[in-house]
Amino acid sequence: MSLPESWFAQTDIPVALENAWQEARQRLDAGLDAAGADPAVTDAWLSLSDVRRRELARLVLLSDFALDALVTRPALLPGLIDSGELEAAPNRAQIEDALHQALAEADDEASLHRALRRFRQARMLGIVWRDLNGAEMWQTAAKVSELAEVCLEGALGWLETHLAPRWGSPAPRRDGSPQRLIVLGMGKLGAGELNLSSDIDLIFAFPEKGTTRGGEREYDHQQYFTKLGQKLIAALDEITADGFAFRVDMRLRPLGDGGPLVGSFNTFTSYYQDQGREWERYAMLKARPVAGDLDAGHELLDELRPFIYRKYLDFGAIESLREMKAMIHREVKRLGRDDNIKLGRGGIREVEFVVQAFQLIRGGRDTELQVTSLREAMARLVTLELLPQPVVDELREDYVFLRDLEHALQAQQDRQTQQLPDDTENQARLAMAMRLPDWAALKDALSACRERVRRHFDAVVADPDDESPASDDDSPQDDTAWRQLWQGEMDDTEAERLMAAAGYELPEALRRLKTFRDSRGVQSMQRIGYERLEAVMPMLLEAAAENEAPTTALERVLPLIEAVLRRTAYLSLLRENPQVLPSLIRLCAASPWIAEQLARHPILLDELLTPATLYSPADKQRLADELRQTLARIPEDDEEGWLEAMRVFKQTQVLRVAASDIAGGRVLMKVSDYLTAIAEVVLDSVLQMAWRSLTARYGHPSARDSAGQAAFLIVGYGKLGGIELGYGSDLDLVFLYDAAPRGVTDGAKSIDNLVFFTRLGQRIIHLLTATTPSGTLYEVDMRLRPSGNAGLLVSSLDAFAEYQRNEAWIWEHQALVRARAVAGDGTLKERFEAVRREVLARERDDDELRREVVNMRLKMREHLGSGGEAREAGQFHLKQDAGGLVDIEFMNQYAVLALSARTPALLEVTDNMRLMDALAESGKLPEQDARKLQAAYLAYRDASHRAALAKRGSLVSAEAFADHREHILALWRRWMEPAAEREANDQ
């Protein structure tokens, strides 16, 4: 039969394709003639709607594969119409059922091969039909991937069953679970984004070694899974009279074609740990279990995750991607394939490199990037603010354009190609497939697309040495000179002349540089690491020369470089991000404390990449949100990972505060506010973690009454309670709880309430003070709890109140002035605050109170002050000497204890500055005295902060603070030492 001419009257055929169209018509007619014996097939074709006829014409004109399939098997079209596949893709369950039915009739491997190929041809015909008639690229890629997975699983299951009588089945794992072959999909299959005619890259694995059971003979697992893998490859890849199902590529396995076809878990982990190369990390980004034992596949990938994703920011990955791209570019150029839309400039691979560069560099830290899908990874780059939304939108649109073009190319002959055609007919087919008027329009659109992709690729992956030429102020000779200096190619006279001209102090600076260059650590570096150091050091020397104190800057930065000689990804970070070096130099030159923190914890270098956050510390709400998001990436049972993340978070946030402090962007009180907020957020998370851990083991403690619930509270004293934390401050804590006095927990392993809360307190202290590679969170001091070190670690609120009312010393009430609930139950917090108010506001004998406070202060001066030698040298201890910081604190504490019964405003705050405001506003302290005290207090606190950043002690020049001391001592004598007591003290 012949298809009526009137059918295609509305079909718009380009002039260049008229001959191809006539040929396609003739072939369809011939195919239908051959199927003429089946009237049902002929009737289905003749009853096609106008819409279906136009779609059919477009399909057979643009795809030789589809035309061949319909010519040889005209019955496919009625089947696709009946199943609805021309309108919408079937779901996975429908595809699996259809394949199951097809394979049920296969009784040998030849019939298995035939069933798979005919099944794949039918499904692919539907996919190509939908794709060329408007389906979204992502849907097409997903359905091809799904088809490959279903075919893999169907073939594997059939082979296992069919071969079991002869080969037996693998022995179970040690835990008793069965073993199957694990099929990892790599590349676009792993991503779930296969193209229309892609190879499928696979890796085969199995969990444990052993021998098969139940067959005619025993095979060890290596033999069994190798033979099974070979059968699976043949089932899909072997070309028969029905063609192939999927071309299989196994070259991504360990050792490639020269390695075993399959490997055990132990083999894989040993290989990637000892021999894994950078390109293999890149390949494993997309690894995903696609057939066989999926759970075991995920288990294997979890074991390999540390190889794939580094815990630190791995800028060394960019160099590997750059090398891979250069190798590809050389091959493309050698073969004359500049028109390859995958491998050429601005092609598909460059979009993938942009996204995967971020995954390799940041995936260990930003675990949201640990996804195989390129589409999903793109979206997460925006969420993580690694790329702006407009950039990602442009990359996504251009990637879709390139992939649509790739699909149009591959649909023509079911062949994996990305090379643009050079004949006019196929060029016209491509233009039509892309819905563009002609080849010239397509070339213009493609050229603009590739230019945009290349621009974004260069911004992320291009070598910084290849970027814009040096400015007039940065001549190539300068860079060459610093490079020659570092490499020892200058004699000492020339080297000293260069360094002296740059402001370095000689001979110290040159000697320190030589010592570092000749050190064992540098000389024993591996080649790639040494090359990275060679690239960084001239940049560092030049950047240090720009600082006001080049020698100091160099002295403080070199320990950091020494610390990362074995973790050279950090050297890559400095090389790949030249803007980081000036910030690094500036911070280290200003503060040896920061320099020491960076050298001890190089992971903090990551913060220098984003000045917007480095110099803008977060408020408490943002801190809590950031920490919650960080911890959400870590499994609850991974305590080590949790602790490490907490410590990195704390150090990162403190670095931000210090950086903004040095930059002059934060006043003193704000610095303390930020540092205190960091501690509170950490304490809150630590309490939650400890509570979950204890309740999971013992259940919840019983409440005092049926209407309530047991509660826990962390009270901060000292600088934490007073919102005055400094760099390196420890935490003075007291733990309180409220629960049934003789109650027990409700878990299967029940314990007394007191034991539960004691263990909770111990757990909190452990989490805060445990040492990890990133150090500790905080040092903790519990001596301010009732009865000090002799008392219980935790106290009920009732016992705490009773102690404060009847047993506490005056100095303990002084400490209570700065006590503040910082984490825990809200209701218990209110009750604690009521106890605090009650205790502090009681009526006291003023003379006795003053005497107790003064005597305590005099003892502290004697034991903690600077001593005679320091005084003779003109030095003054900021905190403990007479007229120092602690004198102000003691006067404030005395005022609260003496006056709050009649001045409740003194009970509202815990920090010294606002206490002095309250004293002035209530008329208890003259305004002028209050302001002088505040000025002195701020000056002392500021000096303490500066001393901490500079790693100096609390001894300062007495002359520099003479005026402040005079005001403080005058007020101390007037207020704290009436005439009679002064005379007694003087005697």
Q: How confident is the model at residue 257, as a pLDDT?
A: 86
Q: How confident is the model at residue 477, as a pLDDT?
A: 39
CB under 8 Å to 771, separation ≥6 — which residues?
Answer: none
Average pLDDT score, the chain: 89
Q: How confident is the model at residue 472, as a pLDDT?
A: 38
Mean pLDDT computed over 199-205: 96
Confidence of residue 470 (pLDDT cuts 50, 70, 90): very low
> For 32-46, 323-337, 512-526, 945-959, which range has the lowest pLDDT when averaged over its residues?
323-337
Confidence of residue 725 (pLDDT cuts 50, 70, 90): very high
Please give the backbone phi and psi of residue 183, each rounded to the nearest 5 degrees, phi first: -110, 110
Q: How confident is the model at residue 665, as a pLDDT?
A: 55
Q: How confident is the model at residue 476, as a pLDDT?
A: 36
Higher-confidence residue: 490 or 330? Answer: 490
Q: How confident is the model at residue 207, as a pLDDT?
A: 96
Mean pLDDT computed over 301-328: 76
CA 787, distance to chain mean position in Å, is: 45
Residues recorded for the chain:
987
Q: What is the pLDDT of residues 622-667, one digit of tens each?
A: 899 889 888 887 877 788 888 888 998 999 899 888 888 887 655 7
Residue whose C-alpha is closest to residue 181's, from 290, 262, 264, 292: 292
Higher-confidence residue: 411 or 41? Answer: 411
CA 430, distance to chain mean position in Å, is: 41
Mean pLDDT computed over 127-135: 95
Burial of residue 345, with CB atoms counted within 10 A of its CB: 0-12 exposed, 13-18 middle, 19 or more buried: middle
Burial of residue 832, with CB atoms counted within 10 A of its CB: 0-12 exposed, 13-18 middle, 19 or more buried: buried
Q: How confident is the model at residue 836, as a pLDDT?
A: 97
Q: What is the pLDDT of residues 686-712, one digit of tens each?
A: 999 999 999 999 999 999 887 789 999
d(CA 892, CA 975): 11
Q: What is the pLDDT of residues 762-796, one digit of tens each?
A: 999 999 998 877 788 999 999 999 999 889 999 99
Mean pLDDT computed over 915-925: 92
Q: What is the pLDDT of residues 836-850, one digit of tens each?
A: 999 999 999 999 999
Between the two ends of the chain, the Cα-to-Cα distance in Å is 129
CA 815, distance to chain mean position in Å, is: 41
Higher-confidence residue: 18 or 757? Answer: 757
pLDDT of 74 above 50? yes
pLDDT of 475 above 80? no
d(CA 31, CA 69): 10
Q: How confident is the model at residue 298, as a pLDDT?
A: 96
Mean pLDDT computed over 28-54: 83
When mean pLDDT is compared over 445-459, 588-602, 857-871, the highest value belongs to: 445-459
Identity of the amino acid at 590 = A
When mean pLDDT is compared over 268-282, 430-444, 487-501, 514-528, the highest value belongs to: 430-444
Q: What is the pLDDT of residues 455-468, one digit of tens each?
A: 998 888 766 555 44
Give percent above pLDDT 90 in the chain. Answer: 61
Strand, helix or coil for residue 179: coil
Q: What is the pLDDT of residues 175-186, one digit of tens each?
A: 999 999 999 999
Q: How confident is the model at residue 569, as a pLDDT?
A: 77
Confidence of residue 13 (pLDDT cuts 50, 70, 90): confident
Q: How confident is the model at residue 30, as a pLDDT?
A: 87
Residue whose C-alpha is closest to residue 485's, from 497, 476, 472: 497
Mean pLDDT computed over 377-405: 95
Residue whose C-alpha is closest to residue 899's, from 883, 920, 878: 920
Higher-confidence residue: 757 or 708? Answer: 757
pLDDT of 987 above 70? no
CA angle in degrees (0–180, nearest 5) for 271-570-580: 155
When mean pLDDT is compared over 119-128, 476-485, 503-512, the highest value belongs to: 119-128
d(CA 360, CA 377): 12
Q: What is the DSSP string of 759-773?
A: HHHHHHHHHHH--BT
Residue whose tokens read 């879709």: 400
Q: How confident is the model at residue 471, as a pLDDT?
A: 38
pLDDT of 316 above 80? no
Q: What is the pLDDT of residues 585-601, one digit of tens each?
A: 988 888 888 888 888 88
Q: How confident is the model at residue 67, as a pLDDT?
A: 95
